[in-house]
Amino acid sequence: MQWHYRCATCGATYEITPDRYLCDPCARGQQAARPLEGILEAEWEGDMPGAGVIPLPVEAAWFPPIPVGNTPLWAPERLRRDFAAPGLWLKDDTCNPSGSFKDRASYLVAAFARKHGVKEVVLASTGNAASSMAAVGAAAGLPIKVFLPAAAPIAKRIQVLQYGAELIAVDGTYDQAFDLSLEYSTKTGSLSRNTAYNPLTIEGKKTVAFEIVDDLLRAGAGAPAHVFVPAGDGVILAGVYRGFENLLKLGRVDKIPVIWACQAEGSSAIARALAAPFSASDPFGPPRASKTVADSIAVDVPRNGLHALGKLRRYGGRAVIVSDSEILAAQKMLSAGSGLFAEPSSSAAFAGWLKVRDRVPGGENCVLLITGSGLKDIEAAARGLALET
């Protein structure tokens, strides 16, 4: 297999090297506080991988010794009955080592870093990417430096320190942490794992699509018709699409499911852009300060917004916006109705499904991506419980 990067905008190709992040000509027009231009996708030529193999741009031997992915896909029987939804499935990525979906990206980035003898991996994060890279970095023996907003939930901060990474608390937003970390990695030559900016963060997340298709087949349930994805920066969303694009190329599925971008009312840039006219020259417009209980999907600027929007438009993806009270109510309903305690961002996927389920034909498979553990943000869950009384 021969791998390279291809620009999702202009089609230019690049070698996959540690200092390659964006497409130069496309990124040249980048404006401050706007989604990234010149996002690159990994692509292979030549041999098709064997049955059951997920094609990835780093050889298996480089992956660190920690069990990422292969998370359970299961049927929440009581919720199925209560909502007359026999096709409802939960893909439980809280089972990843650091408790979130982000481990899928960290795993590929760590493998790449090992292969290329990278000295340090640097990133900004709202919390989960940091705790994830710290965990996977610990398994790999890689030094990790994270720029984290001081307001990140305490469990995520403690995880970072517990795994032995270096934490730089940023007295500001995630967006400011993003810029600071880029300044640092550009200056030092450290590998940046900033989400969207490093193309491997998108590529690493595609593995979930392969697993969903295999899991459903094994369960005798056919192909996924809908996948509900909590979206902030839009990297998981684009990663899921990349996975299905690969699966289509490999002939393992015959169509791409309807992907639903589930966003919080206080951080809904991708949903708003999808609703904007196709001809709008700047569908994202100026950034809006985010405000939601779902910290993992709170972004002022969706870094992968343009890329994610392109996929949603191309494949007829949809978006659904849910309020904080809907998120917290859904969090409790999911916990008490299935036994899966998810953090608010992931509960937004369930809240989104609750909101649009009448528009989804009854028997069709709906897979909810449950991306993070509820234990990562106990305060948010406590707020939800307080609202009940």
Q: How many CA atoms lie within 13 A of 385 on its CB side?
A: 9
CA dist 343 and 101 (Å) reads 12
Is 381 one of the binding residues for ligand PLP (CB under 6 A)? no
Give the count of residues interacting with ligand PLP (CB under 6 A): 20
Q: Least Å distance between CB 373 and ligand PLP?
A: 8
Binding mask 83-122 for ligand PLP (x = CB under 6 A): -----------------xxx--------------------
* Residue 99 C-beta: closest distance to ligand PLP, Å: 9
Please choose, out of 9-17, 213-221, 329-337, 341-349, the segment that lies near ligand PLP by the rule CB under 6 A. 341-349
Residue list 249-278, contact with ligand PLP (CB under 6 A): none
Alpha helices in 141-253 (DSSP H): 154-162, 174-188, 199-204, 207-218, 235-249
Q: Which of 136, 152, 212, 231 binds ligand PLP (CB under 6 A)?
A: 231
Q: Is 369 left (phi over 0), alpha (psi -120 to 50) or beta?
A: beta
> Shortest gap between Cβ of 15 and ligand PLP (angstroms)?
25
The answer to whether the Cα torsion of 364, 214, 309, 266 is positive or negative is positive
CB of 168 to ligand PLP, least distance (A): 19
Measured CA to CA in angstroms, residue 359 lies from 169, 221, 262 at distances of 43, 20, 15
Strand order in the sheet with 13-14: 13-14, 2-7, 40-45
In the complex, least distance from residue 308 CB atom to ligand PLP, rounded to whole angstroms: 8
Which amino acid belongs to residue 249? K
345 binds ligand PLP (CB under 6 A): yes
Identity of the residue, 62 or 201, whose beta carbon is nearer to ligand PLP in the bound complex:
201
- Residue of 230, 243, 283, 305 that binds ligand PLP (CB under 6 A): 230
CA 203 to centroid of chain Cα atoms: 10
Whole-number Å distance between alpha carbons of 258 and 227: 6
Residues engaged in binding ligand PLP (CB under 6 A): 100-102, 128, 195, 230-237, 296-297, 343, 345-346, 371-372
